């Protein structure tokens, strides 16, 4: 869940936006400034993004112990806790000196800042939105919180702030990899293990696409983490995994897939994040072809729940193989965001059941009847079947692996829930007055839900995979 702080000077519509994202009226709104005085926290949702929302008092450029100064300190606390800051201005008024003062404060923060030009309905806010570009946070997102306009663009801006987490055991080469990617010695490196202690965000442009890389502290076995500072560093790294879209698991190629590597990969899968394996220090390997084949075999055998996850061999020191990493990350992110059309899923289900029928339990055959995808990020499916509780885990794994193979989603974490019942549309009336089945949606536009995969499913494998 992303922690979102909504900030700005008084009376720009922060509480109205808070209520809009929370889906209910929680914060008082009024044309008079200064209605909100304390931080208010609530859960909210925008598209498929789960949000923790923090509404703040209007920012005043004051100090001391006055009410306004104490309100400002509450706002600054919210800034320190946020993953993404929505900096709201009034598009109809334009940029004020107080907006500029607040912008100067935000530029010193590590959190991602999204500039929001509120009250931009109609043409009244056009000039103010253009003026806001000079604040230095890129193109403003033009919305009307009161009327619900522009929320798809806001979704796109917030989703783009979700980072790529770079994790691994101590001294695996994570910081060296980040420095090589961005082309700068931004992070401290060295032969000593444990140099990185905090999760360090680094913003970077990759082929015109804004990317946030988060370098994390090395993760060791829980029993070895006894120092209080290291415990905090470990918690910080685990939190970075939970907030990332894609996780790059960096392993030392001279001894990859050790117990801690496997445990980190399993954690990433349980958190539902897309995963890319990076075999670092590849320049030290003398028999690269044989070692790469061996690593692929080990990954398939030890991590069947991530079957087909991309594995990139590289050397951050020499740059060898580095050109393959970000395309693999981009493909993993697209797969993780995929929405498969219901018609294609049910064509696949029929073929999958024909090729490998589910086993009989207590002499009675299980019959999967209908499947639909309920969400993406990660792809989540619900299967309707008779005697759902009796479906063996082995057959569930077969179905998940078959979906991966049939729809080209290698290594993508998936969720499959089995429910008792049948096709929910099967018993609807036909003829005059009958309701038609809902048609599959067209591909989503920029800023809306992730795109659907079109095309016919390929036949599934004949035998189950564990």
Based on the number of CB atoms within 10 Å of its own CB, is 466 exposed (0-12), middle (13-18) or buried (19 or more)?
Answer: exposed
Is 61 a residue whose pLDDT tops 70? no
Helix (H, G, I), strand (E, B) or coil at 222: helix
Dihedral angle, C-alpha 310, 315, 316, 320, nearest 10 °: -90
Q: 331, 173, 159, 338: which is closest to 249 by C-alpha? A: 173
Eight-state DSSP code of residue 11: T
d(Cα 106, Cα 88) in Å, to the nearest integer?
A: 12
Contact 352, 335 (CB under 8 A): no
pLDDT band of 240, cuts 50, 70, 90: confident
The rounded distance, in Å, linking the Cα atoms of 90 and 94 is: 6
Cα angle: 229, vertex 108, 166; to 5 degrees = 50
178-230 per-position pLDDT tens digit: 888 888 776 645 444 444 445 677 878 888 777 878 888 667 555 444 454 34
CA dihedral 187, 189, 193, 197 (to 10 degrees): -20
Measure CA of the first residue to CA of the last residue in the chain; give whole Å: 31
Q: Which tens digits make up the pLDDT trace of 366-376? A: 889 999 998 88
Lowest mean pLDDT among 41-45, 173-177, 198-202, 275-279: 198-202
What is the rounded CA–CA span in Å between residue 343 and residue 140? 39
Cα separation, 379 vs 414, whole angstroms: 5
Give yes or no for a contact between 414 and 376, defined as CB atoms under 8 angstroms apart.
no
DSSP structure string for 115-155: EEEES--TTTTHHHHHHHGGGSSSS-EE-BTTTTBTHHHHH
Q: Give pLDDT, residue 388.
A: 83
The domains found in the chain, sorted by start residue, are 2-159 (3.40.50.300), 164-335 (3.40.50.300), 339-453 (3.30.300.20)
The secondary element (H helix, E strand) that includes residue 342 is: helix 342-355
């Amino acid at each position: 869940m992303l922690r979102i702080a909504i900030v700005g000077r008084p009376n720009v519509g922060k509480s109205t936006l808070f209520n809009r994202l929370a889906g209910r009226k929680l914060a008082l709104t009024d044309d008079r400034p200064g209605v909100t005085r304390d931080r208010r926290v609530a859960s909210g949702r925008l598209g498929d993004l789960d949000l923790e929302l923090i509404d703040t008092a209007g920012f005043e450029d004051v100090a001391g112990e006055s009410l306004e100064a104490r309100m400002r300190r509450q706002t600054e606390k919210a800034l320190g806790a946020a993953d993404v800051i929505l900096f709201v201005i009034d598009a109809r008024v334009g940029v004020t000196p107080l907006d500029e003062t607040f912008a100067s404060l935000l530029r010193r923060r590590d959190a991602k800042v999204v500039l929001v030009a509120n009250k931009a309905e109609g043409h009244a806010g056009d000039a103010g939105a253009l003026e806001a570009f000079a604040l230095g946070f890129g193109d403003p997102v033009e919305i009307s919180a009161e009327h619900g306009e522009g929320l798809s663009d806001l979704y796109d801006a917030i989703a783009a702030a979700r980072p790529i987490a770079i994790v691994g055991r101590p001294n695996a080469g994570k910081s060296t990899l980040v420095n090589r990617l961005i082309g700068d010695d931004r992070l401290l490196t060295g032969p000593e293990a444990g140099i990185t202690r905090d999760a360090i965000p680094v913003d970077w442009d990759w082929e015109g696409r804004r990317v946030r890389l988060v370098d994390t502290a090395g993760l060791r076995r829980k029993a070895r983490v006894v120092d209080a500072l290291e415990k905090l560093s470990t918690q910080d790294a685990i939190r970075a995994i939970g907030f990332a879209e894609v996780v790059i698991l960096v392993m030392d190629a001279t001894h990859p897939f050790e117990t801690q590597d496997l445990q980190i990969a399993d954690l990433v899968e349980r958190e539902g994040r897309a995963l890319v394996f990076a075999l670092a220090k590849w320049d030290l390997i003398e028999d690269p072809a044989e070692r790469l084949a061996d690593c692929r075999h080990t990954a398939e055998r030890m991590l069947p729940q991530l079957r087909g996850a991309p594995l990139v061999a590289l050397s951050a020191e020499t740059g060898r193989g580095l050109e393959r990493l970000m395309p693999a990350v981009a493909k993993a992110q697209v797969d993780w965001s995929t929405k498969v059309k219901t018609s294609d899923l049910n064509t696949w289900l029929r073929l999958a059941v024909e090729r490998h029928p589910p086993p009989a339990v207590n002499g009675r055959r299980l019959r999967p009847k209908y499947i639909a995808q309920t969400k993406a990020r990660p792809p989540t499916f619900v299967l309707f079947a008779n005697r759902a509780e009796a479906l063996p885990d082995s057959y569930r794994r077969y179905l998940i692996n078959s979906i991966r193979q049939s729809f080209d989603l290698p290594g993508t974490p998936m969720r499959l829930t089995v429910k008792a019942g049948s096709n929910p549309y099967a018993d609807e009336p036909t003829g005059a007055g009958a309701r038609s089945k809902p048609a599959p949606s067209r591909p989503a536009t920029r800023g809306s839900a992730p795109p659907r995969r079109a095309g016919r499913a390929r036949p599934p494998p004949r035998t189950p995979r564990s």
